[in-house]
């Protein structure tokens, strides 16, 4: 019983401490009103991958609604160096991506960045589709776009 009393007393003492406000404000992410997306890739990249990324990004852009006025931009997604590695079971698809945000009003580049994406799939045929999904999700996350998600019978009947 004494151990339990000490434990409760320690918990009460430690829970009474409060962490003060931060010395500096946290950095706010840059937000843009994305009006469109353009996906490009060299000829070595399959058109299916480019098309799936483009379709998913446009669905996310259409699903996003901004309540405040933000700088309007168009994003350009460039796909570099797509690789497919086959394993005994499944395979790994990876790609290097660069993204640029261009202002709609004057055409100047506002932001640029890049990242690597990989997707492991048990099926060799679904690896590219999963890679497209991961790329589109990453770009949508960076630009705070809504996830349009895939349409199912339930979402079609009950929006």
Task: Report whether pLDDT(2) > 80.
Answer: no
- Residue 3, domain member (yes or no): no
Q: What is the pTM of this model?
A: 0.73
- Residue 21, domain member (yes or no): no
- Residue 75, domain member (yes or no): yes
The total number of structural domains that make up the chain: 1
**Domain span at residue 123?**
33-146
Report the distance separating Cα 36 and Cα 57, nearest Å. Answer: 8
Q: What is the pLDDT of residues 145-155, one digit of tens each?
A: 887 665 555 55
Average pLDDT, the chain: 82
- Residue 82, domain member (yes or no): yes
Closest to 105 (Cα-Cα) out of 77, 71, 76, 75: 71
């Amino acid at each position: 019983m004494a151990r339990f009393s000490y434990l409760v007393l320690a918990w009460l003492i430690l829970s009474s401490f409060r962490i003060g406000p931060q010395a500096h404000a946290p950095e706010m992410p840059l937000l843009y009103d994305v009006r469109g997306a353009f996906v490009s890739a060299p000829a070595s990249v399959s058109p299916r991958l480019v098309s799936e990324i483009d379709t998913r990004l446009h669905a996310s852009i259409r699903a996003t609604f901004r309540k405040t006025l933000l700088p309007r931009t168009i994003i350009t997604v460039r796909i570099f160096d797509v690789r497919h590695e086959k394993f005994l079971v499944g395979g790994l698809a990876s790609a290097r991506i660069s993204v640029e945000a261009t202002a709609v009003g004057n055409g100047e580049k506002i932001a640029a960045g890049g990242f690597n994406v990989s997707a492991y799939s048990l099926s060799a045929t679904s690896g590219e589709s999963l890679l497209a999904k991961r790329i589109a999700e990453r770009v949508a996350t960076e630009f705070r776009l809504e996830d349009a998600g895939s349409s199912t019978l339930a979402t079609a009947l009950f929006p």
